[in-house]
Amino acid sequence: MTKGSINVSVENIFPLIKKFLYSDHEIFLRELISNATDATLKLKHLTNIGEAKVEYGNPKIEVKIDKDAGTLHIIDQGIGMTAEEVEKYINQVAFSGAEEFLNQYKDSAKDSGIIGHFGLGFYSAFMVADQVEIITKSFKDEPAVKWSCDGSPEFTLEETKKAERGTEIILHIAEDSKEFLDEHKIRELLLKYNKFMPIPIQFGMKTETLPLPEDAAEDAKPETIEVENIINNPTPAWTKAPSELTDEDYLNFYRELYPMQFEEPLFWIHLNVDYPFNLSGILFFPRIGNNVNIEKDKIQLYQNQVFVTDEVKGIVPDFLMLLRGVIDSPDIPLNVSRSYLQADGAVKKISQYITKKVADKMASLAKNEREEFEKKWNDIKVVLEYGVVSEEKFAEKSEKFMLFPTVDGKYFTWEELNEKIKDHQTNKDGKLVVLYASHQDQQDAYIQAAQEKGYEVLLLDSPIASHFIQKLEQEKENVTFARVDADHVQNLIKKDEPILSKLSDEQKESLKTSIENSINKQTYTVQLEDLSLSDAPFVITQPEFMRRMKEMQQMGGGGMFGMGNFPEMYNLVVNTNSELANEILNKPEEEKAPLINQALDLAKLSQNLLKGKELTDFVKRSFEMLK
């Protein structure tokens, strides 16, 4: 037996490891299983190239709990180690890695971003164990050895008996880490980190019911057998070529990934690239609608099929954070802080690649499966609008796939829309005015008025529509958007048409004064307009600019500073050519106010602004009038 002391300058490194990595100490299992996987894959490689003259077979990794002994075992059938290799890889290489890590990050250890994702490898075992043993037999014809270390720099190394090739790591679980002797806990960790690792992982046994033979008697009981409980799927969909997969395979994988999601994804994008970086994965578009909260079931990041995190900010562009799925790349540096990640060249390229793939997929759907794409539009528009607003590269490609739905269920691309409305909706200054509603029911009166004039009205109702519109106006020359209630329909698209007025200037002045005296001037600005006889006498409008800035501010970002808290302000458009205007003018002074108030309430009602006591009073008053 050899006794030795690990060459170490830090007096006792293990308590330090434990302390620094405390918050994330469960990763020890992932690290040890990764090592077992590497050892197995190395053997596969060596047998493939004829370097190892042994049978590769169907190796597995076994995880076992021995409650009585207080130990957790990780057993593989990989290449194993000779005494010399243990000396080299465990006593020297692995240790120097751990030491280097500690020296480098001691001071910044509180930045858990660094610690959490640092592959500390074998020595992370000491986060949960007060003694660790390695029993290993190399695939080479050499005796098995046992290494043992109790967390001090002293270790022992001796020959031992082990018939099969491979390595068994035995963790004597420390008093404060007993939870890792709990089956549920270990199962949970295996499912979290190792669900898609490439070598089968066995954890205990399970009972399987055999199918009954066809000619079985009616009361026959099916037979059951005990089989190894394999917890992972070693060949998940993203590791296969898209040509090998059917739609059903993708849907099955989605269910496997998110067992608690009962709704199917709308479509998916298979990512696969190996130059200039290596990345594979599948992104799913769930039904998003106007719900922009992401709490659970996020995109998961893997490194060679080992789960790393579901915090993918910085790697996946922001607008795609609402998607689900998997990204697997060995090229994403995990041992660095978030701010560094965002500046990393490879990571930037990955983000750009993903953006491009999503844009290409959308363009192909819009071109080849237009009808289906239209049906799904409502569920994905938020993501795409967000993409246009936040990613220049995405915005550049977006004309091919952004759709503009109308209030009556038609969908146009920008080009189609432009073609359709350019003759009728260009104003006297040569600007194309795109009309839209944000709420079909609430703005019905305005929508109807616009449609009566032959205008197309879009329905832009996503929570970020105002940001999206703002962006389009910046990008496109001579285009302006106006919500249908931004002004009286006559003024929405100003044309060079002669305006005739029935009232003289003095009459208008008197009408304006009477109205202003009867209403709340803080909220409503009276605006007299010479409209046609059939146009509504009173209409409430909200100027586009003010309203949009307020909305943008409320949604976060953009908008003008302080606008979010600005009081609501409206214009009260009064049609001077209406019969009602005439009535008001000609009524005796004391009868004007009731008439004006009733008309204002009606206008409010059609803008959904009449609420609470005002509404109750209005209804009462209206009933009185019917008597």
Ligand X SMILES: Nc1ncnc2c1ncn2[C@@H]1O[C@H](COP(=O)(O)OP(=O)(O)OP(=O)(O)O)[C@@H](O)[C@H]1O
Q: Please list the residues that pair with 526 across neighbouring strands.
A: 572
Q: Which of 13, 33, 43, 76 binds ligand X (CB under 6 A)?
A: 76
- Say whether residue 132 binds ligand X (CB under 6 A): no
Strand 2-5 to strand 144-149: parallel, antiparallel, or no bridges (unpaired)?
Answer: unpaired
Q: Please list the residues that pair with 272 across neighbouring strands.
A: 280
Of 159-198, binders to ligand X (CB under 6 A) are 167
Q: Which of 29, 36, 528, 603 binds ligand X (CB under 6 A)?
A: 36
How far is 318 from 269, CA to CA, in rounded Å? 17
Q: How far is the CB of 31 from ligand X (least distance, A)?
A: 6
Check whether 556 is labelled as a binding-site residue.
no
- Among 118-126, 213-221, 411-419, 606-614, which window interacts with ligand X (CB under 6 A)? 118-126
- Say whether residue 514 binds ligand X (CB under 6 A): no
- Say whether residue 126 binds ligand X (CB under 6 A): no
Hey, what are 431's tokens?
A: 């600007």
Q: Report how far apart, in Å, the C-alpha atoms of 25 and of each of 31, 95, 126, 520 are.
A: 11, 18, 9, 65
Residues 454/424, Cβ–Cβ less than 8 Å: yes
Alpha carbon of residue 580 to chain centroid: 54
Q: Which of 59, 78, 151, 265 binds ligand X (CB under 6 A)?
A: 78
Q: Which of 122, 193, 268, 468 binds ligand X (CB under 6 A)?
A: 122
- Say whether residue 105 binds ligand X (CB under 6 A): no
93: DSSP letter: I
Q: Is 175 left (phi over 0), alpha (psi -120 to 50) or beta?
A: alpha
Q: How far is the CB of 408 from ligand X (least distance, A)?
A: 59
Residues 128/25, Cβ–Cβ less than 8 Å: yes
- Count of residues that bind ligand X according to CB under 6 A: 19
Check whether 71 is labelled as a binding-site residue.
no
Q: Report how far apart, in Å, the C-alpha atoms of 63 and of each of 34, 179, 308 are.
A: 13, 15, 20
Q: Which residue is nearest to ligand X (CB)?
A: 121
Q: How far is the CB of 211 from ligand X (least distance, A)?
A: 38
- Say whether residue 97 binds ligand X (CB under 6 A): yes
Check whether 97 is labelled as a binding-site residue.
yes
Distance between first and last Cα of the chain? 110
Handedness of CA 336, 341, 346, 351 (dihedral sign): positive
Q: Which of 79, 170, 237, 574 binds ligand X (CB under 6 A)?
A: 79
- Say whether residue 332 binds ligand X (CB under 6 A): no
Cis peptide before 265 (omega within 30 of 0): no
Check whether 562 is labelled as a binding-site residue.
no
- Say whether residue 540 binds ligand X (CB under 6 A): no
Q: Specify the residue, 167 or 280, whose C-beta has the smaller distance to ligand X.
A: 167
Q: Which of 33, 94, 201, 563 binds ligand X (CB under 6 A)?
A: 94
Q: How far is the CB of 281 from ligand X (least distance, A)?
A: 21
Q: How far is the CB of 94 from ligand X (least distance, A)?
A: 3
Q: How far is the CB of 40 from ligand X (least distance, A)?
A: 8
How far is 557 from 540, CA to CA, in rounded Å? 28
Hey, what are 8's tokens?
A: 């170490």
Residue with tokens 């995109």: 299
The overall longest dimension of the chain from CA atoms, in Å, is 116
- Interface residues with ligand X (CB under 6 A) are 31, 35-36, 39, 76, 78-81, 89-90, 93-94, 97, 119-122, 167
